[in-house]
Amino acid sequence: MAITDDVLVIGGGLAACTAALAAAETGARVRLLAHKKSTLRQASGLIDVLGYSGSDGPFANPFENIDSLPANHPYHVTGKDGIRDGLRIFDEAVGTAYQGGHTDTNALVLTYGGTVKPTARYPESVAPGLASASGDMLLVGFDSITDFDAPVAAQHLDAAGVPFSARGITIPFPEKFRADAKVTRFAKALDRNESVSGGTVRSALADAVAEELDGEARVGFPAMLGDDHDEEVRDELAERLGVPVFEVPTGPPSLPGLKLEDRLFDALDDAGVHISSGNPAVDYEAEDGRIETVLVDQKSRLTPYEADQIVLATGGLVGKGIGSDRESVTEPVFGCRIPYPEDRYRWSESEAFGDHAFARFGVVPDDELRPTDEDGEPHFENLRAAGGVVGGAHVAHEKSASGVSLATGAVAGRLAGEEAQQ
Amino acid sequence: MSDAESPTKPTLTPAAQTEDFEPVEVFPETTEMDLRPGSDNCYKCTACDVSCPVAEVDDKFPGPKFQGPEQWRLKRKEDTSVDSSIMSCSNCMRCDDACPSGVPLSQMHNTARGEYVETEMDKLSREYIRNRILSNYGTLAWFGSKVPRLTNAVMGNSLVQQINEKVLGITSERDFPEFATQTFREWWEERGGAATSKERAQEARAERGGPQVRSEDKRVAYFHGCYSNYNTPEVGKAMVRVFESFGYEVVVPKQRCSGTPMFANGMLDDARRAAGINVENFSGLLNEGYDVIASCTSCSMSLRQEYPELFDIDGIEDVSEHTYEALEYLRIHEDLEGAIAEASVSDQAFAYHAPCHGRNQGLDRQAVELFRELDGVTIEDVGDSCSGISGTYGWKSEKYDVSMQIGADMFDHMEHAEGDVGMTECPTCSMQMAHGSGYEIRHPLQLLEEALV
């Protein structure tokens, strides 16, 4: 015996969660096999679909610009229906915690660098800070959270020509922590509304900001306004200040990412998806072109997991779903083909933001998202791929990382679920 | 059995197999472990610090990133000693699971803690003596269990607890765990040991019918650890009866403490001695078809991960590769789900807590996923926080408050859970759960016994 399911999804990020939910919708028995803590905690928590293509963009509507993408882009495999299905699964999983589902049009969300990012879905805590909304803006940074420099971010916004004025200030946080305290420590202090001289953390913070407020219609903070009681924290600050407050998503470890991880894993639980996490899939056994067993390195010993259908959603170069050394680029679990220029110096461009070949590295999917070999034939009839491990998209440039994960996850998961029950 | 069921380790260095491969020795041979690659892999994302339960409640604790890769690098300077804050790490090992870059954080912490205790700690200090006593709980328990009723009376005496607090720095807030009047090993011997187990397994195999299985394929060696021997023999008995009912012949080799409390207190010499005895007593059985089964997730963690990481002992890797947690083994080798689907028990509801060391072996969901399919059972996970006790940690007077703050989330979730019986695999988590909630706490094997035997 091995641990046996209909569909085995390998990965723990957005694509894997989406694939597992899509497969579970078909009625299949699904297991998510995740290695470490989900990489969602390193992510901004924003759900982008498509903002740029080559030199075009930013796009107001991602769906109207799919055709401008290169021929081997995964969106051409999933189609617009796949993207919509991915967004539907996401919207159902996160409920009212996210906004943006009322329209196809991109929202322009403020980043911690003071740029704006075209985004399809965003946490509700971010909503009052949209660049498309009107109202002058005060950005508040803290001298102890060095990731977010509010004056610089405000200047960037001004320089970008947003239709409102933005001003940034840096103030001390009302409670003093060790120099390298994490955003989670600030969030907990606000959650618990800890006592400080002159009141509580929330009231003292509101007082300090109120003193600086000069007629601005909204106030933005780095994303640390509470964890378990975030809505309560935002409401209290807004009430004391008399204007809406919002969060600006920050770098890792990111609270919006951590919260998204919790929501998606709760949704997996509700859908009855089994979850095994903590150990990596490292190898497999196949017979007649079908994967029979996936082998998981469970602390020095291999544990067999069996499933009728497999979805590979292990991520890209950063997530380690794609490996590389000086000689080659590989997909480490199943050895699927990843095309790359033989000359290593053609893997990247000299400009930091150039059109790097490595950004598009990944497996080559057929029309069912199965990774293919040199002849265009699927490596295995029951293996599909989703998310960052799929090649062809330059997600950082296109602002399409989440959309590609949702669309490929939805399609690969649904096909796997349906196939498993044939 | 197909190859899938008894997989072998893949060869990760194919070049080493070709005949013309000649390894070149670049670095002089050393017995010191090289933690440099681990340190270099850290890219300072602080995912570990965010996962650290101690750092979350103790503002003075610098967190796993400092304790691991940063301290290792600072230590390259010869006049730098290990910082005393390493003793505030509870060895929950959650940082291992959080790191996206494969930094062996707990290994670095264990090594640093060992060095700190060896070179910085006064061997006559109250802290050292207290830690030595706590980390050698097995020895203490051996004496205590000789006269269990007397020991229970003495340890439950509030005057004795005050003396423990004042003299040794062991908190008087907690009730000392009671010793069973008959240890697991005494029960095992009285029952007829391995010979009886063989008979019962044969009977079960005959009853189960199906293809004849050679007994070599159904043999397990039980690592009961200290707690289920001295304090909760009912867990050990459940393990034996459940495995026998699936046709497994059980043996119970002589054994010492797994070493977990010794690692956590930097007593690496004590841990090495215990590991040596355990490896010697279990490794010989592997050739005869035995796998090693533990019912405590910290014991299985220790044998699987910490032993090969920290010690170089003959056969240690073999033992590590053949060690399983009890439910995990049955999930892999038997149709446990099928058996549970056909069983039923009287109505009962559980508040389940996954121990950190189980979580790190990928076992945090198995009890809930299995038992929610068991007729009569309602089971709910009380959240992914650490229980806070971390073995001997929460027994120390100066750590007690931190330990209870870490556990606050779990207590809260237990209170709101439907069940008023707790469940966990870890003995000290169960002490903490009982201490914070007043609930009775059971082990998954006990429920499995009730359902299947």
Q: Which of B10, B99, B332 sits opposite A283 (nearest CB)?
A: B10
Element containing residue B293 per DSSP (H, E): strand B290-294
Q: State the DSSP H helix or E strand holding residue B415, giving kind and residue range, or none if neither.
A: helix B400-416
User: What is the C-alpha separation between A301 and A318, in angstroms, rounded?
Assistant: 26
| B-chain residues near A303 (CB < 8 A) | 7, 328, 332
DSSP string, A43-112: S-S-B-----BTTB---S-GGGGGGGS-TT-HHHHHHHHHHHHHHHHHHHHHGGGEE-TT-SSPEEEEPT
Do A299 and B62 lie within an 8 Å CB cutoff? no
Interval A23-28 mean pLDDT: 98
Question: Six-digit token pair at A30?
Answer: 């699904």
Interface contacts (A, B; CB < 8 Å): 111
B100 vs A contacts (CB less than 8 Å): 36-37, 39, 42, 319-320
pLDDT at B30: 56
Alpha-carbon distance B178 to B439, whole Å? Answer: 16
CB-based contact (8 Å) between A285 and chain B? yes
pLDDT in tens, A67-101: 999 999 999 999 999 999 999 999 999 999 999 99
Beta carbons within 8 Å of A81's beta carbon, 6+ residues apart: none
Cα diameter, chain A: 73
- Phi and psi at B231, nearest 5°, equal -110, -45
| A173 vs B contacts (CB less than 8 Å) | none
Residues in chain A: 422
Quote the CA–CA distance of A294 and A284 in Å, as a whole number: 4
Q: Where are the beta strands (DSSP E) in A134-273?
A: 137-142, 166-171, 195-196, 199-200, 218-222, 245-248
Cβ–Cβ < 8 Å for A121, A202: no
Collect all residues of chain A within an 8 Å Cβ-Cβ radius of residue B323: 301
Instruction: Give backbone dihedrals phi and psi of A29, rounded to 5 degrees, phi first.
Output: -90, 120
Tens digits of per-residue pLDDT, A279-309? 999 999 999 999 999 999 988 789 999 999 9
| Contact criterion met (CB below 8 Å) for B413 and B382 | yes
Tokens linked to B130: 């207290």
For chain A, which residues make up each domain, given as ranges?
Answer: 3-99+257-420, 112-248
Residues contacting B183, CB < 8 A, separation 6+: B145, B229, B230, B233
SS3 A413: helix
Q: What is the share, in percent, of chain A residues with pLDDT greater than 70?
A: 100
- Are the C-beta atoms of A219 and A128 separated by less than 8 Å? no
Work out the angle at residue B230's Cα, subtended by the Cα atoms of residues B380 and B125, and round it to the nearest 5 degrees.
Answer: 100
Question: Measured between alpha carbons, how far is A386 from A401 in angstroms, rounded to an integer?
Answer: 11
Mutant choice from B6, B42, B50, B379 vs A, greatest count of A C-beta within 10 A: B50
Architecture field, domain B344-452: 3-Layer(aba) Sandwich (3.40)
- Identify residue A222 by its one-letter amino acid code: P
Distance from C-alpha of A252 to C-alpha of A235, rounded to nearest angstrom: 25
Predicted local distance difference test score (pLDDT) of residue B211: 64
The DSSP result for A324-350, as a single string, is E-SS-EE-TTT-------SSGGGSS-S
B332 contacts A3? CB cut-off 8 A: yes
Are the C-beta atoms of residues B350 and B423 closer than 8 Å to each other?
yes
Residue A141 three-state SS: strand
Q: Are B362 and A279 within 8 A, CB to CB?
A: yes
Q: Is residue A339 predicted with pLDDT exceeding 70?
A: yes
Is CATH 1.10.1060.10 correct for B34-119? yes
Closest Cα in chain A to B49? A182
CATH 1.10.1060.10 domain span(s) along chain B: 34-119
Domain A3-99+257-420 listed as CATH 3.40.30.10? no
Q: How far is A170 from chain B (nearest CA, A)?
A: 23
Contacts of A298 in chain B (CB under 8 A): 361-362
- Identify the pLDDT of residue A231: 96
A269: closest chain B residue by CA? B369
Q: Which residue has the higher pLDDT, A161 or A337?
A: A337
Among B5, B6, B9, B311, most A C-beta atoms within 10 A, so best to mutate, is: B9
Chain A (236-275) residues lying within 8 Å, Cβ to Cβ, of chain B: 252-253, 258, 274-275
How high is the mean pLDDT of chain A? 95
Q: Over 90: is that where the pLDDT of A117 sits? A: yes
- Cα torsion B150, B153, B159, B162 to 10°: value is 100
Which residues on B lie below 8 Å from A293 (Cβ)? 4
Q: What is the pLDDT of residue B29?
A: 58
* Numbered ranges of CATH 1.20.1050 in chain B: 184-333
> What pLDDT does B155 receive?
82
Contacts of A301 in chain B (CB under 8 A): 304, 320-324
Quick check: B320 and A301 CB within 8 A?
yes
Q: Which segments in chain B show pLDDT lower than 50?
A: 1-17
Angle at CA of residue B22, ends B21 and B27, nearest 5°: 135
In chain B, list all ranges with CATH 3.40.50: 344-452
A80 touches chain B (CB under 8 A): no
**Rounded to a whole number, what is the distance in Å from the CA of A263 to chain B's nearest CA?**
13
What is the token pair recorded at B383?
A: 């959240």
Q: pLDDT per residue over A376-419, tens digit each? A: 999 999 999 999 999 999 999 999 999 999 999 999 999 999 99
Per-residue confidence (pLDDT) for residue B25, from 0 to 100: 62
Instruction: List the strands of the sheet with B344-352, edge to edge.
Output: B375-381, B344-352, B421-423, B440-442
Spatial separation of the C-alpha atoms in residues B249 and B417, rounded to whole Å: 38
pLDDT of residue A1: 66
Helices and strands (H and E) in chain A: how many: 9, 19
Subunit contact B305:A295, Cβ cutoff 8 A: no
DSSP B150-168: HHHHHHT-HHHHHHIIIII
A229 touches chain B (CB under 8 A): no
**How many Å is the maximal CA-CA distance in chain B?**
72
Q: What whole-number distance in Å separates Cα of residue A228 and Cα of residue A191?
A: 7
Contact B362 A298 (CB under 8 A): yes
Hey, what are A145's tokens?
């959270």
| Dist. CA B442–CA B428, nearest whole Å | 12
Average pLDDT over residues A334-345: 96
Shortest CB distance from B50 goes to which of A1, A2, A184?
A: A184
**Among residues A394, A404, A414, A410, which one has the least CA distance to residue A120?**
A404
Number of C-alpha atoms within 13 angstroms, CB side, residue B355? 29
Give the nearest chain A residue to B334 (CA atoms).
A1
ipTM of the shown complex: 0.88
> Distance of alpha carbon B392 from its chain centroid, rounded?
13
Which pLDDT score is estimated for B10? 44
Fold held by B184-333: Glutathione S-transferase Yfyf (Class Pi); Chain A, domain 2 (1.20.1050)
Domain spanning A112-248: CATH 3.40.50: yes
Phi, psi of A390 (to 5 degrees): -80, 130
Residue that wins the pLDDT comparison between A350 and A178: A350
Q: Please list the alpha-helical segments (H only) found in B16-104.
A: 36-41, 47-51, 53-57, 64-65, 71-74, 94-98
Distance CA A203, CA A236 (A): 8
Q: Do A277 and B332 touch (CB under 8 A)?
A: no
CB–CB contact A274 B369 (8 Å): yes
Chain B residues in contact with A277 (beta carbon < 8 A):
362, 364-365
Question: With an 8 Å Cβ cutoff, is A381 touching chain B?
Answer: no
Q: Beta-carbon neighbour count of residue A105 at 10 Å?
A: 16
In chain B, the residue whose alpha carbon lies closest to the alpha carbon of A12 is B100
The reply to whether residue B362 touches residue A296, judged by beta carbons under 8 angstroms, is yes
